[in-house]
Each structure stands twice: as C-alpha cells, then as structure tokens.
Chains A and B, each alone.
Chain A
C-alpha cells in the first residue's frame, strides 16, 4: 500500500494506492473519494463503550471505516480543516495524539484513549489524549503546518500548538513569563515539554483562530 500526502501543507490529503488485500482504517468522514473496487465497512471505534469515550473525550467519531481493496484502486482521505498531514511509523512504540488529530492507520495499530492529566487540562491541551500503539503507519493531521522537535531537556510550547508527543516526554503547565508578561503578552499559559522524545507541533491553533474571529465579529 503506497500512500502519498499531496497538496501540503495547507490542504494536505492522502492518496492511498491499494493492492488486492490491502486494508486501511480511517476516521469516519475522512474519505473524500475512492475507486469503486475498494469496499468500505463501518464499525464501532474499539467497541461501543470505548467508541463513546473516544467521542466524548478524544473528539474522535463513534465509528471508524475500514477500507479493503478487492482489486487495485485508490482512496483519498482528508481532514476537516486546512492543514498538513504527517505519517508516523510505529515499531512497537507508542505515540500520544491530541484529540481530533487522528486520520487513519494500518490494521496493526491500536487506538486507545488515555487520561492526560490535570496539567494537560489546565494547559488547554485536553484532559484526555489518544494513544496509538503497535506496528504500522499512522496518519494524523493538524491545523496549519506541522513541524517536529526532538526534545532533550525542556522546550516551551504555547497552548494549543501541541499535536502529538511520545510518552517519554512529560508536560508541565507554566506561565509564559512573569505575572505581567504572562497576562499582557498574549501568551498566558504555556506548556513546558520536558524529557527526551519527539513532539509534533502545529503552526496555527484553533484557539487563536477563534479569538481572532470573535475580535472581528463585534
């Protein structure tokens, strides 16, 4: 199965070239188009109870679609907002995704929901996170461009920009600076990522878009 990510970074979408027997699991609603030879089946995302939890706390859909190629064909997957998509190859390791980031994965990858903690909640990164683990490729998206940072030690990320991170990094909530600069710099609370591991960041944040839009509504 060959996957090309096209039209990056603003309007990225996945062109999945499938051979007979190839399978890919995608978030419900992610499909833009597909060859008629590719069949689709829909199931609960990890069982009814887990699917409901993922819907409520992980901003994911209740259902996932499994696409199977009966003869060669292609499938186009996309995400609901403008931004980049990246592929991550899991080799038995784990990655945490922020709610709503997941787009698709290969069948060897399992998708769970984990408690991210009070710190993450205060940092406006969500109290829960999606946990992807296993063997295979995972595709996830972000709002804006995606860039990575190999953290060794400590790194500061503004709230709302963290998309994915390895379980080897921890998250601390902190003020962006002193009391004055934190409140008047527009940065407020930031996330201090510490430890050793890779983090994926998005160049735009939904919170920033919402604030900007609201500021122009009145």
Chain B
C-alpha cells in the first residue's frame, strides 16, 4: 500500500516543460507515480505502474528512472527508500523489474571492484618491475659512458661544493692520505682513474668521493683514526664509489625513473626539474644502501689485494659507532652510512671468503700527521 503522504524529491523530463526538465516532488498513488514539477506553472505528470519501465543509473549509479513506453516522460529520483516504496506501493507490479535492476547493479559493482583491484595489482607490478629494470638498465648503460664524463661531472660537483679550508699539498696529513691512495690505486677496478685527494680542515669525521676519482677527507677523520689502515679502509670505500661509478648510476636511475613516469602519465615538466635536482643531489650526498654495500666489498677487496687487513675498515666502523655514534653532526661519515652492524658482518664474511694472505702494516706515520693537525 503506497503511503500518500510520503514525498520524494527528484525530477522530471518532459517536452512540455521549458528547457525540457525540472525538479519535482514525487508521490506514489494507488496505481501510479505522480510528479509535481517545481518549475513555473507547476505542471503535474503521472505514470501508471503498468506502463512504467524502470532503469537505474545517473551520476551516483543509484538514481531510479521511471519512463513511459514512448519515453516521452521520465520521472527520476535517487532518494533513499524510493526503490522500496516502489516495490511496496506497486503491489508487486514493479517487483520483477526492481529485482533485475538490483542484480545488475550488484554485478556492476562487483565488476568495478574487480577491475580496481586488478588494475592496482597490475600497476604495482609494473612499477616494481620497472624500478628494478631501470636499476639494472642504468648499471649497464653507465659502462658504455666514458670515464671522462664522470670526471666532468665530478669537477662540476667539486666546484659547487662550499668546501672549508683545504690543507696544502705538503702538509703531513695530505701526504699521508696521498700515500694511502697511491698504495691502493694499482688495486682499484680502474687503475687509470685520475684519483686526487684533498684534506679539508674540519672537525667532522667525514670523507666522500665525487665521480671521476676526486675525494675529500676531513681532518676530523684523520684525528679519530687509530691506525693508518683504518684511514685506508675509508679511502678504499670511497675509491670504490668512484670506480663502481655509483654517482653516474644514481643519476641515470633518477633520470630513468622520470623518463618512465613521463611515458606513463604524459607530460610532467615540473618533475623533470625536480628530477635534475634529485640527480645532482644523489651524486653529491649519499648513495643507496646497495651501493654502499658494493663499495664496502669492493673496498675490502682492494685492501686485501694491497695486503692491508680489510678488518681495519670494519674496526673503524666499530670505533666511530662506539665513540661517536650518539653525537649528531660530528660523525657524518658513519651517520650517512646506514645499517652499521650489517656492514661490519658483510665485510667480515667477505674476508672469510678471501684467500689467506700475509697482511702487512702500513709503514706510515699517522702520529706525525695527527700531531701536525693539533
């Protein structure tokens, strides 16, 4: 039994209305749906249940359309409860159509959910696959680029760095570091690389390499070291970044990701600008965890080949961690190298796999260098 007092708000399409449509107040009567348009003149429309074709749609997907067989009159409503009122008020006349519409809507909703989940999974798979593909691609592509490119990028990077006071070439600390570089150079993966090292006057315990073989070692690191072998460990690690060409690889990966995003979602000019910044940043500051591990192992290999005990590298990690790990802003070198314990383990494990060698102590005067820095 329809409730004659219940009014729903909806609308009506009919050619007699100016503009062809209007909002409407809708009620269910004994045998029909009636709509009183809210436009000027408030025309009145009725649609018998027996002649009513139902449809479901609209922007929300929940709007019920009631049409006459000629489709000249359409009464529509998306208020909650309208479908139930139609079912009850039409004495079952409209029930089969309503059941079918409900089934169709549920099916469509399920299909939509399926596609959303499937698309999300596919997109995730593409992103993950693309990421690893790019990483591998960049690694391969970097090999084809001549070393001179690394040197040019490194030169620009050094110019852009606001470095503190640099010690002169004859300073005992500079001489010590240069001797270590000379000792390690023949054992590097690219012995022809033009390795140069500058010692920077700063209490920060830090060292870094830019592409092409230029390195900076801070006096804070030299003062902190307990043996020349420990400094050799840090330098071997930094030389490895240069010979493994991590700077160029990181830049290639950053640019590759931006290129991939461009292909996938169209023009992203802003991202390109951002990407070039990211690329520059990645050359200058930090490398990925994978790159750090690679540099550790390559550094350990270099030390081993130079007959320097690779354990010194791990010892230096331990020393910094135990003495200065909690002091922010000083132990920069260790703080920019995450997963400290894992790295010590990795180096020790790697050393186990190396053939036995008689490691020799470096005959270098660390004490003199440290005294000269006081």
Contacts and interface: CB of A to CB of B under 8 A. Distances in A.
B22 interface: yes
Interface residues of A, number: 33
Interface in A73-131: 89-94, 96, 116, 118-119
Contact of B40 (A91, A118, A213, A218): A91
A89 B24 CA distance: 15
B296 interface: no
B286 interface: no
Given A92-B22, A215-B267, A168 B38 contact: no
Contacts of A133: 23
A165 B21 CA distance: 13
Given A93-B23, A168-B63, A194 B11 contact: no
Q: Assign chain B's interface to a size class.
A: 20 to 34
Give the dominant DSSP class at B's interface.
mixed
Contacts of A214: 267-269
B279 to A, nearest CB: 15
B23 A91 contact: yes
A167 B269 contact: no
A168 B63 CA distance: 7
Contact of A194 (B13, B24, B57, B267): B57
Contact of A167 (B58, B74, B268): B58
Nearest to A150: B20
A92 B13 CA distance: 13
Interface in B1-47: 9, 11, 13, 19-24, 37-40
B267 A91 contact: no
Interface string A140-179: 0000000000100000000000000111111100000000
A46 interface: no
Nearest to B115: A173
B103 to A, nearest CB: 18
A211 B266 contact: yes
Given A93-B22, A165-B59, A168-B63, A218 B272 contact: yes
Contacts of A118: 116
A195 interface: yes
A93 B116 contact: no
A182 interface: no
B135 to A, nearest CB: 25
A170 B39 contact: no
Contacts of B40: 91
B79 to A, nearest CB: 12
B76 interface: yes
A179 to B, nearest CB: 13
Given A118-B116, A196-B13, A211-B267, A93 B21 contact: yes
Contacts of A119: 112
A20 to B, nearest CB: 24
B78 interface: yes
B360 interface: no
A116, A195, A210 interface centre (most CB from chain B within 10 Å): A195
A188 interface: yes
A135 interface: yes
B139 to A, nearest CB: 27
Contacts of B19: 89, 91
A196 B74 contact: yes
A194 B267 CA distance: 29
A92 B60 contact: no
Which 9 pairs between the two chains have the least Cβ-Cβ distance? A92-B23, A92-B38, A214-B269, A91-B39, A93-B23, A211-B267, A195-B57, A91-B22, A214-B267
11 contacts: A89-B19, A91-B38, A93-B21, A166-B21, A166-B59, A168-B13, A170-B57, A210-B269, A213-B269, A214-B267, A218-B269
Interface of A: 89-94, 96, 116, 118-119, 133, 135, 150, 165-171, 188, 194-198, 210-211, 213-215, 217-218
